[in-house]
Amino acid sequence: MQNHTNVDNQIFILMEIEKKSVKIYDCPVTYCMSKIGGKWKPIILFLISKGVNRFGEMQRGIDGISKQMLTKQLRELEKDNILHREIFAEIPPRVEYTITEHGHTLFPIIQQMRDWGQEHMPQEIEA
């Protein structure tokens, strides 16, 4: 029979915890949330999935977002290759955002978020 000290037990517990823990940067959910999480990105992606692709339309479609925040979120989505920004050489210049092929892979997630919200949203908010 082997005697285990208190220190041995603590080391064993720490080893067991380590086996079950996930480092924040190794976690796929954390990675996904770093790309589409937050208050505004899911809404932006939802609007684009419904055909809203111009800055002004998006700003009118998202209650409470400032121009600066919308610009920041769009730039991040563009940097992450989720959105493509196209500038048309017109007077005045027209800018449209479209979803990239990589971004299309997120639509099932956004749709599931919408479905879950519709199913669980209190009735008085839906109207």
* Number of separate domains in the chain: 1
Q: Say whether pLDDT at 14 is over 70.
A: no
Q: Is the dihedral of CA 36, 38, 41, 44 positive or negative?
A: positive
Q: Say whether pLDDT at 18 is over 70.
A: no
Residue with tokens 């017109």: 90
Read out DSSP for the chain? -----HHHHHHHHHHHHHHH---GGG-HHHHHHHHH-SSSHHHHHHHHHTT--BHHHHHHHSTT--HHHHHHHHHHHHHTTSEEEEEE--SS-EEEEEE-HHHHTTHHHHHHHHHHHHHHS-HHHH-
The string of pLDDT tens digits covering residues 64-119 is 999 999 999 999 999 999 999 999 999 988 999 999 999 999 999 888 988 999 99
The string of pLDDT tens digits covering residues 40-73 is 999 999 999 899 999 999 999 999 999 999 999 9
Cα separation of 8 and 25, whole Å?
30
Q: Does residue 102 lie in a domain region?
A: yes
Q: Does residue 87 lie in a domain region?
A: yes
Domain range for 108 = 37-122
Q: Does residue 41 lie in a domain region?
A: yes
Q: Does residue 44 lie in a domain region?
A: yes
For residue 96, the number of C-alpha atoms closer than 13 Å in the C-beta half-sphere is: 9
Q: Does residue 5 lie in a domain region?
A: no
Q: Does residue 9 lie in a domain region?
A: no
Q: Does residue 78 lie in a domain region?
A: yes
Q: Does residue 15 lie in a domain region?
A: no
> What CATH number has the domain bearing residue 44?
1.10.10.10
